[in-house]
Structure 1
Amino acid sequence: MDNASIVIGIVIVALVIRRQLRTRPVHGKGGVALLGFLGLMGVLAFTFGVASVVKEHPLGGLTIALLAVCFLVAAGFGVVRARTVEVWRAPGGELLRKGTPVTTALWLVSLAVHIGLDKWIDHSTGTGLLGASTVYLYLAVTLTVQDVLVRRRAASVA
């Protein structure tokens, strides 16, 4: 993973953390647009990354396993972070959410784990192209899981 990819990942995560630390509606529309953007960018970048690597040699079993682990880790962090988001009903009846300092800490740990997995993926392929291509898809997976679980929790708030 090159330095530019690390910087881009850090900037994206910083913006996501900033957004999650604000009080906002549980059922806002901005989250869907962000998830759609990240998902589209993730599929495009990942497809390009895989295509670039397989030009040199086929993906090995270790690389495929590491990619699966990468996205399972993303989902796992989404599950854990969802539990740290405060959800409540405002006096007007609107459901609100806000991340906590623990949510922020988990984002930072998630970013560090992802960077480590990216480096391992790149080492397993012998190139520096595939690991960095997973950042958008990783974010799309982790945010989608977190959002779904926060919305599910919000549905049970009295």
Structure 2
Amino acid sequence: MPPPSTAVVWRSVGLTLRVVTVISLLVSLIIISTNTATLSSNFSRIEIRFQDVKAYRYVLATIVIGLVYSLLQTAFTIYHVTTGNRIAGDALYIFDFYGDKLISYLLATGTGAGFGVTVDLKDANSGTNTGIDKFFNKANAASSILLLAFIFTAISSVLSSLALPKKA
């Protein structure tokens, strides 16, 4: 049995990157969207949700946009790997190139916003309540997984950059 061609190997690598990106984004979405904490004092209980912090809403928005794009690209890549043909021919290479760049930058800004607000708010509330620490730790975990999704998308972006001069 002859070894697979270089094109098949690169398509498989691209598909693997897309699938891992989708999985990372899904995990990050689940973590950030279920993040809540209850703060208790002598007189009342306050529930904090991720929606209460605007930067976490931005993180969620970047995750959702990245997930939609990654799912679309995963479907295109599966079609390309299985049939050997590309939807819309060579024009899709340009879409891959610009889309991967845009989404990777978007995921990077979402990661930065998540880490930044977590550090600032955690410092402001240090030592006050363990419930709020768990809240910030979960947000940090979601941002960390979003960082992984950014890395995979950035690698995918490099691959689409390499394919562009050959096809466009």
The alignment's TM-score, normalised by the length of structure 2, stands at 0.38
**Taking CA–CA contacts closer than 8 Å with sequence separation of 6 or more, which of the two structures ends up with the larger relative contact order?**
1
Higher percent of residues as helix:
2
The alignment's TM-score, normalised by the length of structure 1, stands at 0.40
